[in-house]
Amino acid sequence: MLEGQDDADIVCYCEWVTREEIVAAMPHVRSLKELRERTRACMTCFGCEADLDELLAEHPDRLGSALR
């Protein structure tokens, strides 16, 4: 974990992926599957799947925006 970061920032505890890392990756992927592959979030136990779905719902305009 990075200095200044608390547990509330972590979405995927298996891979220690933060909310910020997931949101930053969204413009570079076209789907939830690609997001999982790029960030490694939700690839081990799937415990954060609902959190990923929630982030995608919060930021639908970001998904794939760098690929257009």
The per-residue pLDDT for range 50-68, each reduced to its tens digit, is 999 999 999 999 999 999 8
The per-residue pLDDT for range 12-44, each reduced to its tens digit, is 999 999 999 999 999 999 999 999 999 999 999
- Tabulate helix, strand, coil % of the chain (nearest 5): 50, 5, 45
The pLDDT, as a whole number, for residue 40 is 97
For residue 1, pLDDT over 50 is answered with no
pTM, entire model: 0.85
Please state which CATH class domain 7-67 belongs to: mainly alpha
